[in-house]
Amino acid sequence: MYIVFLIMLIIFMLSAPIIKALRKKKPKDVIRIEKNQGKRYYRTMVWMWGPAVVVIIISLIGGISLADLGLRAISFNYNIWFTALTLTISGLIIIFSLRTVILSLTSKKFRKKMKSEIANDDVALSILPRSNKEKYRYVLLSFSSGICEELVYRGFMVFLMQAVFPDIPIFIIITITGVLFGLGHLYQGWQGVIQTGIVGTIFVCLLLVTNSLIPVMVLHFITNVSDGFYLSEENENR
């Protein structure tokens, strides 16, 4: 049964980004998208929670517990060097993300710099919030992303791979999950695929060394939500 679940999951992971990429808005539509950013966030959250709910239902049918999906206490099972490297990189990501939030809130110069860098990035302009109202919704979106994507891409995927192939080498798990996570962001272009693929490998490494999905969800949330502070407040009535 697990191999059927794994095949279904891989098919979903490969088809979903293609569908999203085909539905990607053209640059001329960016301004229209910005005007409906809040509604777009809610639609994206539905897109995220849908697969997560399906994973939970399938898990119940297949006798897979929440602990099997990674929702368990932290424990360290890997060698000290792999663990130390993973925790160091994860810590640096958190520090960099918090730095971004602090500078975005306190430095006009930093906000001006970020706005200039993002000005020609249609993907960023179609995603990032501007008003406080949008930012509140973006926090909810980041929370949903941290919970749902981790359940699907790390929790469920890693469990199935280890259940179907109990002797699978760790580097194969890291590579496959990283690639699939990267492809899941195909709508961001190939640069986005590579960047999220790298981040995805860090996430799965953190899952493996801590034996828990909870730290990964927290790291994922912090990484995502920090992006929402790049742009200054504009159009507060939206």
SS3 per-residue string spanning 183-237 = HCCHHHHHHHHHHHHHHHHHHHHHHHHHCCCHHHHHHHHHHHHHHCCCCCCCCCC
pLDDT tens, residue by residue, 173-186: 999 999 999 888 88
Q: Is the pLDDT of residue 150 over 90?
A: yes
And the tokens for 140? 């909810």
Specify whether the CB–CB gap between 79 and 205 falls below 8 A.
no
How high does pLDDT run on average in the chain? 85
Q: Is the pTM of this model over 0.85?
A: yes
What distance in Å separates the CA atoms of residue 61 and residue 57, rounded to the nearest whole number? 6
User: Domain map of the chain by residue range?
Assistant: 2-227
Specify whether the CB–CB gap between 230 and 97 falls below 8 A.
no
Range 192-196 average pLDDT: 87
Range 79-93 average pLDDT: 95
pLDDT at 22: 66
Range 71-110 burial, b when 16+ CB lie within 10 A, else e: eeeeeeeeeeeebeebbeebeebeeebeebbebbeeeeeb
Rounded (5°) CA angle 34-38-43:
105
Rounded (5°) CA angle 87-88-92:
115
Residue whose tokens read 């020609």: 120
pLDDT tens, residue by residue, 110-121: 878 877 877 676
pLDDT at 177: 93
